[in-house]
Amino acid sequence: MKPVFKSLLAAATVAVMSSTAVAQEPASLQDLLNSVKANRSSEAKINAQREAEFQSARADKQALLRKAQSQLKAEQDRGDRLQKQFSDNEVTLNEKAAELEQATGTLGEMFGVVRQASSEAYGRIATSIVSAQYPGRDDFLARMSEESKGLPNIDELEELWISLQTEMTEQGSVVKFTTDVISLEGGTTSQEILRVGTFNLVGDEGYLTYDDENDIVQPLGRQPDGYLVSAAEGARAATSGFVPFYADPSRGQILGLLKQKATMAERYHAGGVVGYVITGMLAIGLLIGLYKLITLTLVGGKIRSQLKNPASPSESNPLGRILKVYSENKGVDAESLELKLDEAILKELPSIDSGINVIKIFAAIAPLLGLLGTVLGMIATFQTITLFGTGDPRMMAGSISMALVTTAQGIIAALPLILTHSIVASKSKQIVHILDEQTAGIIAAHAESEKA
């Protein structure tokens, strides 16, 4: 290292001499020699100073190294002491744990029973609708069942007993309390709601549900049938006595299934186009039947009035028009008169029987349309099975609903149409019978008068 250092000093001296020569050229060789000697002396002093500084720094670094080595040794000794202390503590902990187990005896079993009971009670109380009236009851049970690591103390045992006793007591109580209810639109209203044991909550909108995860009370997405809601509202309005009430013993599961039940409107629309056609036929048939029932009733009343006054026939009723034909043909023979009267009756029949056969046809076609809807629904069902298989029955529900609903709609439409046709046809036959009876009487009286 020293030869290299000397060569660097020589190079530096030459460089300085070169720069000095460039800066100031010597006047003679003696001046040049003197200048070189002076520079050499100056550079030697600088190099000596630098070497002293390097030696001092090296000594400092050696001191730091010795200090770091001393600290490392101290930390290693400390680690050994801590490791030994840790091993000793492990032994002590095991000894103390054995002593604790021996001292507690059967209390350890009690801890397991308490923790299990707390876990079961937490699952039941956290989802109970009683928590809507008394929120926060499950916090203590959650700590007891999950976070507690030691033996329960007397206060915790009493708190567990009170929680269980409260739930048991509230199961048999019917109370009203005020709380916030989240509406389906997102708003919040304060309502007085009825709690029936641990079964159901009833509010302004009907049956309510309790969301234990968010600790909120909200209405069902869809209320059950109207009579169930009416009974619930009646129980909520009652102040004393016995009132009917439909309780859900499954704590909301049955209500959850009922809200998925299809309404009458949804069932009706499941019939599709075929169902709409059947409904149209039913409406038209009933309108025709109602119209014929009214007109035939009016005609029958006019005929009965005409029977009371046969001497003055009226053009406003069929019997009056037939009597007028008789009055205009009294001089003809009986056979001619019979033909005239038969002709008059035949003229009256179209107006009396009009529309009745349409009702009969609709009553016959409605079940056939229902059968058509059934066939179309089954075709759609098999197409769905072909495309998607039978893994998800809900894929086929729409087609099966159409098949069943259209059949029911066809039968439902046919029954009132058949009944309407029977009533209207009976009215028509009564009127025709009166006309035939009066015509036969007129012909018989006319034939007797000719013989006389």
Give residue-wise pLDDT tens across range 358-384: 999 999 999 999 888 888 888 877 777
Q: How would you class 121 by CB atoms within 10 Å of its CB: exposed for 0-12, middle for 13-18, buried for 19 or more? A: buried
For residues 164 and 180, membership in a common domain is answered with no
How far are the Cα atoms of 192, 234, 341 from residue 227, in angstroms, in the given order?
A: 21, 10, 61
For residues 227 and 93, membership in a common domain is answered with no
Residue 20 has pLDDT above 60, yes or no: no
For residues 294 and 403, membership in a common domain is answered with yes
Q: What are the residue ranges of helices labelled H in 309-328? A: 318-328
Q: Which domain holds residue 284?
A: 264-451
Quickly state the pLDDT bin for 249 (edges 50, 70, 90): confident
For residues 165 and 187, membership in a common domain is answered with no
Q: Which of 125, 141, 170 is the last residue of a domain?
A: 170
19 within domain boundaries: no
For residues 129 and 194, membership in a common domain is answered with no
For residues 293 and 399, membership in a common domain is answered with yes
Tokens 């304060």 correspond to 190
Quickly state the pLDDT bin for 7 (edges 50, 70, 90): very low
For residues 315 and 393, membership in a common domain is answered with yes
For residues 306 and 414, membership in a common domain is answered with yes
Q: Which of 116, 147, 170 is the last residue of a domain?
A: 170
Measured CA to CA, the distance from residue 323 to residue 333 in angstroms comes to 16
Looking at residue 203, its amino acid is G
Taking each continuous run of H as one helix and of E as one strand, the counts in the chain are 14, 5
106 within domain boundaries: yes
User: pLDDT tens digits, residue range 266-323?
Assistant: 777 878 888 899 999 999 999 999 999 999 999 888 888 888 887 788 888 888 888 8
Q: Which of 130, 150, 170 is the last residue of a domain?
A: 170
For residues 247 and 126, membership in a common domain is answered with no
For residues 51 and 184, membership in a common domain is answered with no
* pLDDT score of 284: 95
For residues 220 and 137, membership in a common domain is answered with no
Tokens 């840790």 correspond to 86
For residues 142 and 199, membership in a common domain is answered with no
Measured CA to CA, the distance from residue 31 to residue 334 in angstroms comes to 184
Taking the CA atoms of residue 261, residue 263, residue 269 and residue 275 in that order, the dihedral angle to the nearest 10 degrees is 100
